[in-house]
Amino acid sequence: MCAGRRDRLAEHLAHAAERFGVRPEGDLVRGDFDRTLAVRTSGPAWLRVTAQRPEWTTEEFWDGIASATGSPFDEIPMPRHLATTQWADGGYVVRADLVTYVDRRAVGSGLVLRRDADLPGAWWDALRAGLAPLRRATGTRRAVLRPDVLRSSLLASFGVEIDPGRLDWEVAHGDLHFGNLTAPGLTILDWETWGWAPAGYDAAVLACSAVLRPDVAARVRAELPVPPTYSGAVARLAAADKYLSLVRLGRHPDVAVPLRRQAEAVLREGLVA
C-alpha cells in the first residue's frame, strides 16, 4: 500500500483519539493490505480506524464491530464496543471504533497458523460455548457470504455449480482464524465481518487457517466438526476459497497446494456434485 495512505491513516488515528479523549500508548498495528490501523490507548482501550470510498460503507464489514453488541453477544467472550465516530475526508469516509482492550496473546500471529498450538480440552470447550450464542442472532441481515457471490466464486475456483437454496445457513463469526483467538484464556477477536454463512463455515475456516500444521487442523476437525452434509461440503469449499483468494493476491502462497488438495477431496466425496 502506498505511503500516502499509511500517513493518512495515522492522521485519522490521531484525530479519532482526540475525538474519543484517549491517548495512544502502544505500537501501531496495521491490518491486511493497510486497510486498517489500530493502537492500544489509555483506558485501556483499543482504537481502530479505516477509510473507504462511500460506496463501500454500506457493505457488511463497515459496522460489524459496532453491531456485535447486546444479546446474544453479551454471552460471548469478546471485546466490548465502547464508541464509534466517522467523518468525511477527501472523497473517503473515515470510521473509528473504540473497544475494550484485551490483554491476552493470540494463538497465532495472523491469518495462517505457523507454529504448533497445544490447546487443552477446556479451551476447546470454551470456544464451542463462546460461538453457540451466535445461533440466536437470527434477526440480522448481515452476511459473511451472499448466495450469488458464493455461487459464482465456487464456480470460478472449483468448477462446481452449487444451489444456494439447498444450503443450511447460520450466523457465523466470519473470520475465525487463530490470529483472532486468544489463549490460554479465550477471547474471540475481530467481529468486523460476522453474519450469515453456510453451516460449518467458521469451523472450516479455522481448519484452513491451520493447514500448515496438520495436527492442529486435525484437532479443529475433531473439536469443531463440519457437518457431513451438502451445506458442510460447500462451507469447506468456501473456506478454502477464502484462503486461495489471498494466494491469488500474492499472500501466503505456501497454503495453495494443501488447500487445493483439501478442496479436491471435498469434491471427490460427491456431496456437491
What residue spans define the domains of the chain?
3-100, 121-269
Q: What confidence tens digit (pLDDT) does each residue in 72-120 have?
A: 999 999 999 999 999 999 899 999 999 999 999 999 999 999 999 999 9
3-100 topology per CATH: Phosphorylase Kinase; domain 1 (3.30.200)
- Alpha-helical (H) ranges within 21-146 are 64-67, 121-131
- Alpha-carbon distance of 194 to 31, in angstroms, equals 17
pTM (whole model) above 0.85? yes
* 208-218 tens-digit pLDDT: 999 999 999 99
User: Alpha-carbon distance 178 to 210, whole Å?
Assistant: 8
Distance of alpha carbon 215 from the chain centroid: 22
Question: 121-269 in CATH: which number?
Answer: 3.90.1200.10
pLDDT, tens only, 252-272: 999 999 999 999 999 999 999
Q: What grid cell was written down for 190?
A: 475481530
In contact, 178 and 107? CB cutoff 8 Å:
yes
Between the two ends of the chain, the Cα-to-Cα distance in Å is 40
